[in-house]
Amino acid sequence: MPEFMKGVIKEKPEPGAVYREDLPIPEIKENEILVNVKATAICGTDMHIYPWTEYAQQRVTLPMVFGHEFAGEVVAVGSAVRNFKVGDRVAGETHIPCNKCYQCQTGNQHICEDMKIIGVHTPGSFAEYIAFPVDCAWKLDDSISYEVGAMLEPMGVAVHGVLSGEIGGKTAAIYGCGPIGLMGVGVAAACGASKIFAIDVFEQKLAVAKQMGADVTLRVGKDDVVKTIMEATGGQGVDVVVDFTGSPKAIQEGLKVLRKGGRFSLVGLPNGPVTLDLTDGIIYKEATMIGVTGRLMYKTWWQCNELLKSGKFDIKPVMGGIYPLKDFEKAFEDLKNGAPGKMILIP
């Protein structure tokens, strides 16, 4: 084991981050494993931490190695670890449950009352090594590469959002074609949605949505989204709306295209309060509104595993680019400029 590791660390409360080669390798506790990170992806949360937005300022304690979507090889295990061993290939679950609260003890670890988040509250994966609780480790199937393994965590958000209700045989409108939204399109298609409308601002992202299985792509500011969807559904609206944007306008519009008795799943995080037409948009429609966060531990991970192995879901179009960890600034800049897909860093 080397004495130091390379990594990207947020040192100061200002935009940017620093690449260093002298970071200490994490020490593990009895219930933790140490993983040599083989691939790590940039998340929307990292897009808050890097420029140091108000969202990050309220949550992150500096200095901090950030990043939380990753896969790698186990190189050490704590004394209390029994079900993982050195050499295992793993991906990481971001949410660290306390395993003591009401939610954890009733099967809802993903919304633990005292939850910690890797790369936000504890050191993250933008480094050669990461230590984390064994509860958050998922063994990778031999058929899944480390690059794909690093995308399982965000894929799980897409799976949880789309499958938070019935989707087979349903019409669906998916707002937002960032990486998770694109995977949401792929999940809906793989699970038998009858017609999928994908909505986004960027034409290049909509092109990828087509590859993922969207039947109709609509560009905000160019196409009349409401008119197109209502005409295509005989004036009824779609059975399911899934919002991955958090945009107040998208959420408000989504309620307009949702049919009576339909399901609306909210995944994207708004920056502030959102005004909704509760009377016509929800109450009179008897719409079902579902909030979605993270992944069900570990039901969603099994669903991701089976979707990838089924051959019905191809995650490769969502891979936007692969960069050496030291070129992290270029990866963040490409994302800021609207490049589609997930950017993956290789330590």
Q: Domain residue spans in the chain?
A: 4-151+315-346, 158-291
Do residues 126 and 7 make contact, with C-beta atoms less than 8 angstroms apart?
Answer: yes
DSSP 90-139: EEE-SEE--S-SHHHHTT-GGG-TT-EEBTTTB--SSBSEEEEEGGGEEE
> What 8-state DSSP symbol labels residue 60?
P
Residue with tokens 């909030």: 291
Do residues 167 and 192 make contact, with C-beta atoms less than 8 angstroms apart?
Answer: yes
CATH number assigned to the domain covering 158-291: 3.40.50.720
45 catalytic residue (yes or no): yes
Do residues 272 and 266 make contact, with C-beta atoms less than 8 angstroms apart?
Answer: no
C-beta atoms surrounding 305 within 10 Å: 20
Q: In Å, how far are 10, 48, 85, 332 from 328, measured between CA atoms?
A: 12, 15, 31, 6
- pLDDT tens sequence across 51-68: 999 889 999 999 999 999
Q: Provide the whole-model pTM.
A: 0.95
- pLDDT tens sequence across 183-218: 999 999 999 999 999 999 999 999 999 999 999 999
The residue from 40, 48, 110, 245 that is catalytic is 48
The residue from 45, 94, 171, 300 that is catalytic is 45
Q: What confidence tier does 1 reach under pLDDT thresholds 50, 70, 90? A: confident
Q: What confidence tier does 272 reach under pLDDT thresholds 50, 70, 90? A: confident
Average pLDDT over residues 24-41: 97
CATH number assigned to the domain covering 4-151+315-346: 3.90.180.10
Residue with tokens 């969807």: 229
